[in-house]
Amino acid sequence: MGLRSSFLAVAAFAACTAAFAQSGTLERVAQSGVIKIGYRESSVPFSYLDGNKPVGFAMDLCARIVEAAKTQLKLPALKVEYQPVTSQNRIPLIQNGTVDIECGSTTNNTNRREQVEFGINHFYTGTRLLVRKSSGIKSLDDLKGKTLVSTTGTTNIALLRKHLFEHKLDAQLVAAKDHADAMLYVDSGRAAAFGMDDILLYGLMANARNPQDWDVVGDALQVEPYAVMLRKNDPAFKKLVDDALRSTIDSGEFETLYKK
């Protein structure tokens, strides 16, 4: 692609994103009668597929946001469309309007807030390692000469790369397309450990063929706050999202959903 073509493509994307922000999510949802939710296929227990149905803690929270939208817009028949997203494409799909809200396991951090907006944080976790118990691995220091896998497009893989470099750990870091793929790397012996948010690792371990063969080890590298993701510059929708989440917390329903 030439320089002029690249410039035009970037300009077109920016114009599209700006148009979505200016029109407002609630206005467009009211006009179309549809709200579009992005979900993850293997972010257990937050957003994952149960058969063909997206379920999980984040999906339950977003269902409360949908109910709030139905009430505010007076649209009891509001339709929900579900769109699978990945670590790599979730931000662009929010920006270009393919999805209105992402209900997954996305970390709310400063860099991402330059591109998108977040609801209030609903969970905190940290980067640790999923390993086979038989491996003898207890921390990142035990990965010398071994292969470590993480999921592409996540804060975790960048953090792990930085940690390996700064601590001069002689380990190879490879990128998997999603969490399920990363789990396969370790399950098949192509990697010795999977570095990711510990809550997601526990979810994958619980659903493994032999959960007793696995362990989550190591100290958490940093705190990762999860939040639902939406477009920037949309204060009306941001207020609805936050109000719906606060109402769920205040009513005690949040705790019920968390325990579920």
Q: Using CA atoms, how far apart are residues 62 and 85, in angstroms rounded to an integer?
A: 15
Query: Length of the chain, please?
Result: 260
Question: Is there a contact between 56 and 46 (Cβ–Cβ < 8 Å)?
Answer: yes
| Nearest CA-CA partner of 197 in 162, 170, 224 | 224
Strands of 34-88, DSSP E: 34-39, 42-43, 47-50, 53-55, 79-84
H helix runs in 81-232, sequence order: 90-95, 110-113, 155-166, 179-187, 198-206
Q: Binning pLDDT at 50, 70 and 90, where does residue 23 land?
A: low
Does pLDDT of 2 surpass 70? no
Give residue-wise pLDDT tens across range 73-123. 999 999 999 999 999 999 999 999 999 999 999 999 999 999 999 999 999
Nearest to 96 by CA among 18, 39, 31, 30: 18
Residue 157 pLDDT > 50: yes
Three-state SS letters, 7-33: HHHHHHHHHHHHHHHHHCHHHHHHHHC
Q: Which residues contact 104 (CB under 8 A, 6 or more apart)?
A: 38, 39, 40, 43, 46, 47, 58, 85, 90, 229
Share of the chain above pLDDT 90, in %: 90
Backbone angle region of 168, left / alpha / beta, with phi > 0 → left and psi within -120 to 50 → alpha? left
Q: What is the pLDDT of residue 222?
A: 87
Residue showing tokens 């601590």: 167
pLDDT at residue 11 greater than cutoff 80:
no
pTM of the model: 0.80
Mean pLDDT, to the nearest integer, of 211-217? Answer: 97
Structure tokens at 8: 């035009």
Residue 32's pLDDT band (boundaries 50, 70, 90)?
very high
Q: Mean of the per-residue pLDDT values for the chain?
A: 91
Name the residue with tokens 């609805």: 240
Amino acid identity at 251: S
Q: What are the pLDDT digits (tens) for 227-240?
A: 999 999 999 999 99
Residue 22: pLDDT over 60:
no
Biggest CA pair distance of the chain: 60
H/E element, 3: helix 3-23
Phi-psi region for residue 152, left (φ > 0), alpha (ψ -120 to 50) or beta? Answer: beta
